[in-house]
C-alpha cells in the first residue's frame, strides 16, 4: 500500500514538474504574441522578440550551468577499490567557482546603476520590438523573464543530471582500469566482469542478469555487499581451495541456486575445476539470468582448454541461446559475453576441396612419325 502511494505521489510530482516546465515559457511566449499583435509590424516584432527571448534563455542557462556544476569528492571507487592512475578533471568545477564569484562580485558593486543599465538595454532592444516607447519596458521585462527562466532550467538540469553522469563516468573509468589490471595479471574472467559492469554504468549494455530474492539467503555470508561481492570473493579464493573438480561438480548438482552460483564462481576462478556439462546446463537451462551470466563468464575462462569437440558443443549451446526467441536478450550483458565467446571459438573448418584431375591430351604424330608433346593447359 505504501509503495502504491509512493508511486502515485511520484507520478503526480512528475506531472506537476512537466506542467511547470510548459507553463513558464508558455506564459512568456503568449505575452510576446499579444504584445506583437498590437504593433504596426507584428511579424517583425514577434520575430525580434523570439530572438531576444531565445538569447536570454541561452545566457540564463549558461549561468545556471556554472552555478550548478557539482564539486568532485575524492575517495575510493566502487566496492572499496581505489581510484586508478587517472583522476577526474576538475577544471570545469574550478572555472565555475571562479566565474560565480566574479559575477557575484561585479553584480554587487553595480547594484546602484542597475536601473540605468536596464533602461539602456531596453532602449537598445526596442527597435527589434517595434521601436515605440512601450517597447523599452517590454524588452527589459522580456529579457529578465527569460533570463531567470533559463537560469532556473540550467541550474536544475545541471544539479539533477550532471552529478549522476559524472559519477557514472568516474565509476566506469575505475572499473575499466580494474579490468585492465586483472587482464595484465591473467585473470580474463575477472577482467571481462569489470568491463561488463563498466559498460553498464555508461548505459552501453543492459543489465538482464536479474537476481532472485531468495539467492542472498542461499549464499555464504561475506563482507562484500550483495551476490556480486560474494561471487567475486569466492572466485578470488578458488585457486587456494582444496576442492576437487568432482566436488565442485557435486556442488553444482546439489540443486539449490546458491550452491550452483558458488560452483560457477569456483569454475571462474580456477578453470581446472570447471565441468563443461554443468556449464552447458546453466547456459541452456538457467535458473535465472544471474546464473546464466556467471556460467558464460566461467565458459569464457575455459576457452583455451577445450578440445575441438567440446568447443563445438559450447559454440552450439551459446549460439542457440542467442538465436532463441526466449533466450539471451540482445544488447544485454549476457549477449556481450556470448558474442565474445563465439568470436573466440573458431568455426568448424570447411572440408578440403578435391583437386581437379589433370586431363592428359593424346599425343599427335609429327611429320617424321615422332610423337609431339602437347602443351599442358595452365593450372
pLDDT tens for each residue of 177-228: 888 888 888 788 888 888 888 887 787 777 665 655 555 555 666 545 667 7
d(CA 364, CA 379): 22
Tens digits of residue pLDDT in 57-110: 999 999 888 888 776 655 544 444 444 444 455 556 677 778 778 877 877 776
Quote the pLDDT of residue 313: 92
d(CA 367, CA 379): 30
Q: Quote the mean pLDDT of the chain.
A: 78
Which is more confident, 314 or 379? 314
d(CA 281, CA 285): 5
Helix (H, G, I), strand (E, B), or coil: what is residue 132?
coil
The DSSP code sequence of 147-184 is HHHHHHHHHHHHHHHHHHHHHHHHHHHHHHHHHHHHHH
d(CA 285, CA 296): 12
Q: How far is CA 305 from CA 12, 161, 276, 297, 298, in A?
A: 57, 46, 11, 14, 12
Contact 114, 25 (CB under 8 A): no
Q: Is the pLDDT of residue 357 over 50?
A: no
* DSSP single-letter state for residue 328: S
d(CA 197, CA 74): 21
Sign of the dihedral through C-alpha 42, 48, 49, 50: positive
Beta strands in the chain (DSSP E): 364-365, 371-372
d(CA 161, CA 164): 6
Quote the pLDDT of residue 82: 43
Quote the pLDDT of residue 333: 87
Q: Is the pLDDT of residue 19 over 70?
A: yes
Which is more confident, 105 or 13? 105
Q: How far is CA 332 from CA 161, 224, 257, in A?
A: 24, 25, 22
Q: What is the mean pLDDT of residues 25-50?
A: 87
Model confidence at 288, in pLDDT bands (50, 70, 90)?
Answer: confident
Quote the pLDDT of residue 81: 45
Among 22-31, 65-74, 318-327, which is the least confidently predicted range? 65-74
d(CA 194, CA 200): 10
Model confidence at 13, in pLDDT bands (50, 70, 90)?
Answer: low
The DSSP code sequence of 16-35 is HHHHHHHHHHHHHHHHHHHH
Q: Is the pLDDT of residue 295 over 70?
A: yes
Candidates 255, 247, 254, 256; CA nearest to 275 is: 247
Quote the pLDDT of residue 353: 46
* Burial class (CB within 10 angstroms; exposed 0-12, middle 13-18, buried 19+) of 139: buried
d(CA 48, CA 51): 5
Amino acid at each position: 500500500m505504501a509503495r502504491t502511494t509512493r508511486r502515485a505521489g511520484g507520478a503526480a510530482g512528475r506531472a506537476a514538474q512537466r506542467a511547470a516546465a510548459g507553463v513558464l515559457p508558455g506564459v512568456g511566449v503568449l505575452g510576446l504574441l499579444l504584445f506583437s499583435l498590437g504593433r504596426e509590424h507584428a511579424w517583425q516584432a514577434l520575430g525580434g522578440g523570439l530572438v531576444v527571448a531565445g538569447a536570454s534563455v541561452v545566457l540564463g542557462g549558461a549561468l545556471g550551468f556554472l552555478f550548478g556544476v557539482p564539486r568532485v569528492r575524492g575517495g575510493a571507487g566502487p566496492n572499496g577499490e581505489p581510484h586508478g592512475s587517472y583522476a577526474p578533471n576538475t577544471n570545469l568545477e574550478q572555472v565555475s567557482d571562479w566565474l560565480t564569484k566574479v559575477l557575484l562580485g561585479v553584480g554587487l558593486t553595480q547594484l546602484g546603476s542597475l536601473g540605468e543599465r536596464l533602461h539602456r538595454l531596453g532602449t537598445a532592444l526596442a527597435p527589434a520590438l517595434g521601436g515605440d516607447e512601450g517597447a523599452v519596458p517590454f524588452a527589459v521585462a522580456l529579457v529578465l523573464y527569460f533570463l531567470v527562466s533559463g537560469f532556473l532550467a540550467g541550474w536544475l538540469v545541471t544539479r539533477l543530471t550532471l552529478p549522476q553522469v559524472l559519477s557514472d563516468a568516474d565509476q566506469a573509468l575505475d572499473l575499466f582500469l580494474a579490468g585492465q589490471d586483472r587482464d595484465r595479471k591473467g585473470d580474463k574472467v575477472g577482467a571481462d566482469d569489470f568491463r561488463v559492469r563498466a559498460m553498464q554504468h555508461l548505459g552501453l549494455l543492459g543489465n538482464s542478469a536479474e537476481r532472485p530474492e531468495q539467492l542472498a539467503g542461499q549464499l555464504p555470508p561475506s563482507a562484500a555487499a550483495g551476490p556480486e561481492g560474494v561471487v567475486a570473493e569466492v572466485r578470488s579464493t578458488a585457486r587456494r581451495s582444496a576442492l576437487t573438480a568432482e566436488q565442485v561438480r557435486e556442488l553444482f548438482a546439489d540443486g539449490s541456486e546458491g550452491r550452483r552460483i558458488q560452483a560457477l564462481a569456483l569454475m571462474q576462478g580456477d578453470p581446472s575445476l570447471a565441468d563443461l556439462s554443468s556449464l552447458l546446463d546453466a547456459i541452456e537451462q538457467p535458473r535465472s539470468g544471474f546464473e546464466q551470466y556467471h556460467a558464460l563468464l566461467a565458459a569464457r575462462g575455459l576457452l583455451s582448454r577445450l578440445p575441438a569437440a567440446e568447443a563445438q558443443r559450447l559454440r552450439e549451446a551459446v549460439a542457440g541461446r542467442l538465436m532463441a526467441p526466449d533466450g539471451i536478450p540482445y544488447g544485454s550483458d549476457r549477449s556481450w559475453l556470448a558474442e565474445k565467446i563465439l568470436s573466440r571459438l573458431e568455426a568448424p573448418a570447411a572440408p578440403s576441396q578435391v583437386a581437379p584431375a589433370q586431363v592428359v591430351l593424346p599425343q599427335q604424330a609429327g611429320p617424321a612419325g615422332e610423337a609431339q608433346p602437347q602443351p599442358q593447359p595452365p593450372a
